[in-house]
Amino acid sequence: MLIGAIEAGGTKFVCGVGSREGEIIEHCSIPTSTPEETLEQVFAFFSKFTINALGVGTFGPADLNPASASYGNITTTPKVKWAGFPLLSTLQKELNVPAAFDTDVNAAALGELTWGAARGLDSCMYMTVGTGIGVGAVVDGKVLHGMNHPEMGHILVRRHPSDSFQGLCPYHGDCLEGLAAGPAIEKRWGKKGTELVDRLEVWELEADYIAQALVNYALIFGPKRMILGGGVMKQQQLFPLIREKFKIYMNGYLQNSFLDDLETYIVPPALNDFAGLKGSIALAVLASKVHSL
Ligand code: ADP
Ligand code: ZN
């Protein structure tokens, strides 16, 4: 049994085929241009294989409600050519296999839970801090959905008294993403994150906002592990700062053995470059168990 996986990102589409156990057999990376151009190359890759099911982890926002007429569509992305594009149905028409569809971060959370940093647990949260801030979660072994997928990157955080940066979110200004995604770091300090490595105040402020968010997530749905990835989290010095501030903001309110050792609670991803692909395979495997896909 061969499973197809697509990590559909704003910059690139990573396609792969693998086993139910998450072993990637072959993969390729395709730049994201127009839907037509990109998908032509996606189909060329998959034409070499016979797959039994497909898992898709996509950038968003996307419609994940199977009862909706626009299920499987990308919805309101600023990438105009993709706004409203029926990604899932276009893939299914060509590839003709049952498919599971979710966000890239929900897929990454499920992949990390199945084969990575949250292995053996039944809940976890995956946050990417990059061009935007995206957060996915698994609770009780299931990917977390409400009306639609969670949008935990846009939560409101308490502004640090020393920070007068107005924030970059086109909807909210100073939501978490507006204050703490990679472009906000660059705009606030006038340099890219990679050129600010030695500036402790940059990372203390960044850690403050991320820690506030993590405390909120812990209070709301209590993931048993928090996995932080994305370009900005390559600054490994953020991890101890985030743990320290998490402790201060939580101030002992939640008492739980999972929180006893924050070094094992707030961690980097374990699947690294294959998180998206493996996560997409995990989506297809989970769907096959639930719906005998
Ligand atoms: P994307 O979110 O588009 O998938 P990334 O996760 O690489 O891609 O995020 C890109 C953002 O992260 C940019 O704003 C970039 O400046 C920032 N970034 C990338 N690498 C690093 C790094 N090593 N240190 C700090 N910031 C980084
Ligand atoms: Zn926002």
Question: Domain check: are 12 and 95 in the same one?
Answer: yes
Mean pLDDT for the stretch of residues 67-81: 91
Residues 6+ apart with CB under 8 A from 194: none
pLDDT digits (tens, 9 = 90+) for 192-239: 999 999 999 999 999 999 999 999 999 999 999 999 999 999 999 999
Structural domain of residue 64, as residue ranges?
3-103
Mean pLDDT for the stretch of residues 133-137: 97
The structural domain count of the chain equals: 2
Q: What is the pLDDT of residue 76?
A: 87
pTM above the 0.85 mark?
yes
Euclidean distance between CA atoms 129 and 184, whole angstroms: 11
Burial profile 226-237: b = 16 or more Cβ within 10 angstroms, e = fewer: bbbbbebbebee
Question: Domain check: are 99 and 206 in the same one?
Answer: no
pLDDT interval class at 288 (50, 70, 90): confident
Euclidean distance between CA atoms 125 and 222, whole angstroms: 9
Q: What is the pLDDT of residue 257?
A: 96
Question: Domain check: are 93 and 8 in the same one?
Answer: yes
Measured in Å, residue 28 CA sits from the centre of ligand 2 at 32
Tallying the residues shown for the chain, one arrives at 293
Cβ(183) – ligand 1 distance below 6 Å:
yes
Question: Domain check: are 127 and 252 in the same one?
Answer: yes
Q: What is the pLDDT of residue 10?
A: 87
pLDDT interval class at 37 (50, 70, 90): very high
Question: Domain check: are 226 and 142 in the same one?
Answer: yes
Mean pLDDT for the stretch of residues 129-155: 95
Mean pLDDT of the chain: 95
Query: Hey, which of 192, 197, 198, 235 would you mutate to test ligand 1's pocket, going by the most ligand atoms within 8 Å of its Cβ?
Result: 192
Question: Domain check: are 139 and 225 in the same one?
Answer: yes
Q: Is the pLDDT of residue 141 over 60?
A: yes
Euclidean distance between CA atoms 150 and 216, whole angstroms: 14
Question: Domain check: are 73 and 182 in the same one?
Answer: no
Question: Domain check: are 265 and 140 in the same one?
Answer: yes
Measured in Å, residue 147 CA sits from the centre of ligand 2 at 18
Q: Which of 125, 81, 79, 123 is nearest to 103 (CA)?
A: 125
Q: Is the pLDDT of residue 293 over 70?
A: no
Q: Is the pLDDT of residue 75 over 70?
A: yes
Question: Domain check: are 88 and 142 in the same one?
Answer: no
Nearest CA to ligand 1 atom 13: 182
- CATH number for the domain harbouring residue 247: 3.30.420.40
